Structures are given as C-alpha cells and as structure tokens.
Amino acid sequence: MRTSTRMAAVLTAVGVIVILAAPVAGARALDPSGRCLQRSGPVGRSAGHATRDVVALTGHDRLTRWLGRHPNAEAAATAAVTARPVTVAVAFHVIRADLTADGGNVTGRQIRRQIAVLNAAYGGTTGGSDTGFQFDLVSIDRTTDASWFKLNGGKERKAKAALKVGGLETLNIYSADLGNSLLGWSYLAQDAASVGVLDGVVIHYKSLPGGGWGPDYSGGDTATHEVGHWLNLLHTFEGGCNGGGDLIDDTPAEASPAYECPVGRDTCAATGLDPITNFMDYTFDSCMFRFTADQAIRMHEGWAAYRAPATAAIAG
C-alpha cells in the first residue's frame, strides 16, 4: 500500500504556492496581475534549455483529501492500471494564422504522430510503466485567426469557449504560437471543474513531432508532459528535497528541475539519482521516456476523482 510520508503529505499555502524553475529570457506568467493561477504553465524556451512549467497551486492538494474520503480508491486505481486501458477521447484544435506551416497549419500526419507519441509514452513502450491510459483522436478542427494565433492573455478563454468540446473526460488539445517562447501549459485534474472552459492542454505548434525545434523539443513530449498534469501529476522536483514532493514514492526527490540531458545528477541526499528521464521533469524530449508505477496509480486516482463519467468513477 502506497502510504509513505510523501504520499500522505498535503500541500498547503497562504494564498499561492509557486514553484519556479531557473529564469528563462522572455518567459512570464500569463496572468501578471497576481491573481491565483490554477494551471501548470507557461513554459519558456531559451537557447540553452526550456522550463516546461511554472506551477501555481492554490490551497491544498485536493486529491490526497479525496483519497482520505474514499478508502477503497487506491486499491481500485492500482487494479485499474493493469485492467482494460482507459481510452481518453482527444479533440485536437489547430489555431493558425494562415495556411502555411510557419503560420501554425500543422498537418494531419503530425497530429496522428502526436497521438502515437502519447500512446507509446502512456502505454510503457518507450521504457517506462504502462499507465493504463490510451488516447483516441476523435476530431480535428482548424481555426484561421491571426489574433488568436498567439494564444496568451484573454485570448485563451475566448478561443476555448468557441472550440472546446465534451466534458471533463475529453482531452482538448490546442496548438498555436504561444508567444514569449512558450512551449505549452495545462490545467490539473483537481482544478478541471473550477476552471470550466479553460480545462485542457495547450502546446506550441512547433512542439509536435516533426516541428521546428528538432529533437530537443519537437519529439511530441511537451504534450506528454502536459497531459500528465491534466491527469493530476505534479513535477518530479515539486517541493525540492523536503516535504511532500510530488506525492509519488518511486520518483526520487529532486532539488530543482533538470535541463537538457544531464548524466548522474543527484541533488538530494535521499536514495536515488534525480529522475531526469521522467516525463514530469524538464529535460529534452530525447531524454525523457518514462512514467513510474506509482505515477500510473495517481493518474487513475485523479481520473476517478475528477474526470471519469459518474458511472465509471471509483468510490470508496
């Protein structure tokens, strides 16, 4: 049973908990007003490396509290990992400035390859654990709107209000030019109901497989990372070397994000090298290839608590 101090810890804050990676030129929060952000994002890219997220959590880790009220949920989620995979419907929204590749008009082939990348990562065929999630592309739509193409500020809500389909169980992915050298952002499962139409994953159009940033950031794993947040995973370096961390037992504690592709990085005294190959760190796409068994369980817990249709939810 997964009941260590890391799993039991509850994240608390007075106002907001913000975990920032090393500063990146041009990167900024999309809401500079100081209001509480309930998403993971944005992501900045510089010449040397990218910070994949600036995470802001408000209040408590609600999934841990939900598990306390549903004592059978952890066992059910553990069983769900190896049962018939949960198939998540994906609606893909291409927001483009024009009909050119530089204008964000990603091809259908790129989108299908992106779904294949997700299925390989979450199916464990890249070298990690099979999470018990698979993804089914059910629709693609294309919107030509130069004003929406740089999807920042208030544009996000307007675009999503017009394009979003399905309920909390439907993964809406939006590709655009995000401005400020951003790679993407997502909303945590625990915040899905409260953020409403904003719920979903946003990725830079160049981050899709075959995009313009080469093997470092165009392998499709920006989406892999952000979908992890959509399923309620935190970063491997959450909380640094102390505290509850990412609430996952089998990801060694990590003091700070890892960039590029470091070898033998070990930033905390606790057992284990930094999990630089984990999809929830900040390394190059070419260096991240695994989810862990406990991450898979937590994703199923998050799915049951916040995203599954009522008839399929795990109750304690």
Residue 224 · residue 244 · CB < 8 Å: no
C-alpha–C-alpha distance, residues 63 and 65, integer Å: 5
Radius of gyration in angstroms for the set of CA atoms belonging to the chain, rounded to a whole number: 18
> What are φ and ψ of residue 248, in 5° steps?
-120, 130
Q: Give the burial string for 108-124 (b: 16+ CB within 10 Å, else e).
A: eebbebbbebbbbbbbb
Give the tens place of pLDDT for each residue, 294-312.
999 999 999 999 999 743 4
Secondary structure in 3-state letters for 67-87:
HHHCCCHHHHHHHHHHCCCEE
Alpha carbon distance, N-terminus to C-terminus of the chain: 15
Question: Would you call 226 a catalytic residue per the annotation?
Answer: yes
Give the tens place of pLDDT for each residue, 173-227.
999 998 766 789 999 999 999 999 999 999 999 999 999 888 899 999 999 999 9
Q: Which two tokens stand for residue 60?
A: 């408590």
Residue 232 · residue 62 · CB < 8 Å: no
- Choosing from 74, 226, 238, 301, the catalytic residue is 226
Q: Which amino acid is at 221?
A: D
Per-residue tens of pLDDT for the chain, all 316 residues: 343 333 343 333 222 222 222 222 222 222 322 222 233 444 444 435 555 655 545 557 889 899 999 999 999 999 999 999 999 999 999 999 999 999 999 999 999 999 999 999 999 999 999 999 999 999 999 999 999 999 877 899 999 999 999 999 999 999 999 876 678 999 999 999 999 999 999 999 999 999 988 889 999 999 999 999 999 999 999 889 986 789 999 999 999 999 999 999 999 998 999 999 999 999 999 999 999 999 999 999 999 999 997 434 443 3
Q: Which amino acid is at 298?
A: R
User: The tokens 């089914």 sit on which residue?
Assistant: 136
pTM for the structure as a whole: 0.85
User: The tokens 């992106």 sit on which residue?
Assistant: 114
Q: Which two tokens stand for residue 132?
A: 């018990």
Q: Which helix (H) or strand (E) holds 8?
A: helix 5-8
Rounded to the nearest 5 percent, the helix, strand and coil shares of the chain are: 30, 15, 50
